[in-house]
Amino acid sequence: MAFASLVALAIAFSLLAHADNVIVPGASWTDTSGTVIQAHGAGILTVGKEFYWFGEDKADNSYLFSAVTCYKSTDLLTWERQNDALTPINGTMISTADIVERPKVLYNKKNAEYVMWFHSDNSDYSAAMVGVATAETPCGPYAYKASWKPLGADSRDMSIYQDDDENQTAYLLYASDNNVDFKISVLDSNYYNVTAMASEISNINLEAPGIVKKDSVYYLIASHTSGWAPNPNKWFSTTSLYSNWSTQNDIAPEATNTYFSQNAYDLPLGANAIYMGDRWRSDVLGSSTYIWLPLDWSTGAPQLVWADVWSMDLAAGTYTVATGTTYQAEDGVLSGGAEILNNTAYSGGEAVGWLGEGGTVTLNNVQGNGRGQWVSLYFANGDSTWRNTTVSVNGGPTVLVDQPNTGGGLVILSVPVKLNLRPGANSITFAVNQTTYAGDLDKIIVYNQG
Ligand SMILES: *[C@@H]1O[C@H](CO)[C@@H](O)[C@H](O)[C@H]1NC(C)=O
Ligand SMILES: *[C@@H]1O[C@H](CO)[C@@H](O)[C@H](O)[C@H]1NC(C)=O
Ligand SMILES: *[C@@H]1O[C@H](CO)[C@@H](O)[C@H](O)[C@H]1NC(C)=O
Ligand SMILES: *[C@@H]1O[C@H](CO)[C@@H](O)[C@H](O)[C@H]1NC(C)=O
Ligand SMILES: *[C@@H]1O[C@H](CO)[C@@H](O)[C@H](O)[C@H]1NC(C)=O
Ligand SMILES: *[C@@H]1O[C@H](CO)[C@@H](O)[C@H](O)[C@H]1NC(C)=O
Ligand SMILES: *[C@@H]1O[C@H](CO)[C@@H](O)[C@H](O)[C@H]1NC(C)=O
């Protein structure tokens, strides 16, 4: 009886825990079993009403190949892990000592076959090849075919774009010639190889590409090359994949380094798209998070919309950014060495700095709903390192929240934390019992969603 009611409680709680269908960029995302999703360098395959998310499994924190995972969803929010789509084969270019990155899968209608393309490399990235594998079902497992240099030239970061013409012509988008030139080559009708180059953007140093087509214009989204560290990702456009690429333009305010992320895949959503990026954590790769944001064309050009918490209506092709309640850090109670910082870059012109090493700030009268809520911490680190901050609700145990390197200037980013606030007033203390310095705290936004 006690056991039965515990089970009932557990079910009720898990329903509640999944009640808010929201995307929270930068949070630790879990699958339907509660395990952290390992699907970095994402590729999405749409089959009818189902989505399949392929990516790199980095649970062991290594950059070497362990598996291409496959997750299934009908709403892009609830992901069920399937069998691994591709696993290592020792003695080939996809052994456990090699690199398999950025897996992308297309359906080939002519052969009724799923074809996976990926960046295939050796452990020092000197092979610079593409790899191909095929399967009869979306998650396979896939049978590895080969790795090679397309048209005899380097290929590192890559993606595949399938056009909407009658033959569903597909293209390989890839960083070539030691990452200096960016190339687009056309695939054969089986999607097994490339046959000819379509176009090239020379001397550009691009990687992490994806293409979205809007009103007959192709938009290439790509980052520049700075290793695992983020940079301002760009867009380029053309009316033909065979010529005439525009010059580069930012998809987000430059100083944010694409909100500390790198493009992996861009999925159309109505008149707009979903930017699916990686927030790489190079020293603990498996804790790298996913930054999915609306990529909005309402200005006529693709621009990322920062959203702490957001949702989409897949049928309508629309998205909604959640609004919450803002509490300014400078309105809190400071203790220890904590100090008010004044700068127009901060919301309200002020932030609280010197948190940690004894310095704390407590925000009082923070209204909660008792249901578990997302809270976004807006911060600036003031230097080029990662920091973290402890968070304690009503004097309870602390949780630690990572704060990515904001680049040294007064660049403000936000990171999410799920807090159990009681209904009515709460006190939230930052940096209590912390023996390192936390980021400077500008404000927090408390959302109703959890
Ligand atoms: C592949 O080689 C690695 C390293 O030698 C070894 O740990 C692993 O068990 C091998 N895997 C298979 C499937 O043989
Ligand atoms: C599609 O493929 C067929 C057969 O190869 C070819 O005749 C036709 O021109 C192609 N159509 C397009 C739009 O490329
Ligand atoms: C791809 O095509 C090229 C010719 O352009 C050929 O040399 C190469 O062997 C092909 N690769 C595979 C894996 O079929
Ligand atoms: C090249 O792009 C420009 C600007 O988008 C456009 O005006 C021009 O017609 C294009 N030329 C070709 C050959 O497609
Ligand atoms: C920031 O401004 C407040 C009031 O405007 C002032 O009391 C405080 O001394 C200033 N702090 C710094 C570090 O300049
Ligand atoms: C928290 O950040 C500090 C650097 O400010 C770092 O030394 C420490 O390892 C981090 N703690 C954790 C648990 O990541
Ligand atoms: C801070 O540390 C003290 C001493 O260990 C402990 O009593 C207190 O509970 C801690 N506070 C929080 C919020 O963890």
Take atom 1 of ligand 7 and give the residue whose Cα is closest. Answer: 433
Q: Residue 1's pLDDT band (boundaries 50, 70, 90)?
A: very low
Residue 407 is predicted with a pLDDT of: 83
Backbone torsion region of residue 358, taken as left when φ is above 0, otherwise alpha when ψ lies between -120 and 50, otherwise beta: left
For 307-361, how does the pLDDT look when each residue is reduced to its tens digit (9 = 90+)? 999 999 999 999 999 999 999 999 999 999 999 999 999 999 999 999 999 999 9
- Over 50: is that where the pLDDT of 16 sits? no
CB of 89 closer than 8 Å to CB of 115? no
- Over 60: is that where the pLDDT of 19 sits? no
Ligand 3 pocket, residues with Cβ under 6 angstroms: 146, 148, 151, 193
Ligand 4 binding pocket includes 242 (Cβ within 6 Å): no
Take atom 3 of ligand 7 and give the residue whose Cα is closest. Answer: 433
326 Cα–ligand 5 center, Å:
21
CA-based nearest residue to 296, from 320, 314, 263, 278: 320
Domain boundaries, the chain: 4-321, 325-446
For the structural domain made of 325-446, what CATH number should be given? Answer: 2.60.120.260
Residue 158 is predicted with a pLDDT of: 98
For 175-212, how does the pLDDT look when each residue is reduced to its tens digit (9 = 90+)? 999 999 999 999 999 999 999 999 999 999 999 999 99
Take atom 14 of ligand 1 and give the residue whose Cα is closest. Answer: 90
Give the atom of ligand 4 at the shortest distance from the alpha carbon of 244: 1
Ligand nearest to the CA of 191: 3
CATH topology of domain 4-321: Tachylectin-2; Chain A (2.115.10)
What CA–CA distance (Å, rounded) separates 291 from 115?
26
Among the residue ranges 10-24, 122-136, 256-270, 351-365, the one predicted with the least confidence is 10-24
Ligand 4 binding pocket includes 239 (Cβ within 6 Å): yes
> Do the two domains 4-321 and 325-446 of this chain adopt the same fold?
no
340 Cα–ligand 5 center, Å:
6
Count of C-beta atoms within a 10 Å radius of residue 177: 15
- Over 70: is that where the pLDDT of 65 sits? yes
Take atom 3 of ligand 1 and give the residue whose Cα is closest. Answer: 96
Take atom 9 of ligand 5 and give the residue whose Cα is closest. Answer: 340
Take atom 1 of ligand 3 and give the residue whose Cα is closest. Answer: 193
Residue 95 is predicted with a pLDDT of: 98
Q: What is the DSSP string of 321-353?
A: E---EEEEGGGSEEETT-EEEE-TTSGGGEEEE
Asked if the peptide bond before residue 88 counts as cis, ω within 30 degrees of 0, the response is no
Ligand 2 binding pocket includes 165 (Cβ within 6 Å): yes
Going along 165-259, which residue ranges are E strands? 170-176, 181-187, 194-201, 206-214, 217-224, 234-238, 249-250
Please choose from 65, 96, 98 the residue to mutate so as to test ligand 1's pocket, defined by most ligand atoms within 8 A of CB. 96
For 246-298, how does the pLDDT look when each residue is reduced to its tens digit (9 = 90+)? 999 999 999 999 999 999 999 999 999 999 999 999 999 999 999 999 999 99
Take atom 4 of ligand 7 and give the residue whose Cα is closest. Answer: 433
What CA–CA distance (Å, rounded) separates 191 from 321?
38
**Average pLDDT of the residues of the chain:** 95
